[in-house]
Amino acid sequence: MGAIAGVALTIGIFLYIFWPERNPFIQADKTRVDYLRERKDVIYENLRDLNFEYLAGKYPEQDYTEQRAGLEDEAARVLAEIDRLNARGEIGRRSRI
């Protein structure tokens, strides 16, 4: 009797953990602004990491300034596009990315 209960409990736990709640092949649509906000967060995180690694002595001054300038330029482009889309009112427009 105990073995049957153990097997039933194991199957129940397995089904509870691995039962798919929804179709894993369908993703929620994201707006272009959502994508750009995620990209902005990644760029900011990269800037923080770059600054930390530079202060730890992993990068020479020249490499640090070049990489920082590149990341700041990319962040400026992303922020400008977010502002442009917000100004045009395209927040709700869905796009496949």
66 found inside a domain = yes
44 found inside a domain = yes
Q: Which pLDDT tens digit goes with each residue over 45-64?
A: 999 999 999 999 999 999 99
73 found inside a domain = yes
Q: What is the model's pLDDT at position 2? A: 81
6 found inside a domain = no
The pLDDT of 18-27, averaged and rounded, is 67
Q: What is the model's pLDDT at position 82? A: 94
Q: Number of folded domains in the chain?
A: 1
The pLDDT of 70-83, averaged and rounded, is 96
Q: What is the DSSP string of 25-40?
A: T----EEHHHHHHHHH
Q: What is the model's pLDDT at position 95? A: 46
Q: What is the model's pLDDT at position 61? A: 94
Structural domain boundaries, residue 36? 29-95
10 found inside a domain = no
Task: Count CA within 13 A, CB hemisphere, residue 71.
Answer: 19
Q: By three-state DSSP, how is residue 70 classified?
A: helix
4 found inside a domain = no
User: Roughly what angle, to the nearest 10 degrees, separates helices 32-55 and 61-88?
Assistant: 160
19 found inside a domain = no
Q: What is the model's pLDDT at position 19? A: 75
75 found inside a domain = yes
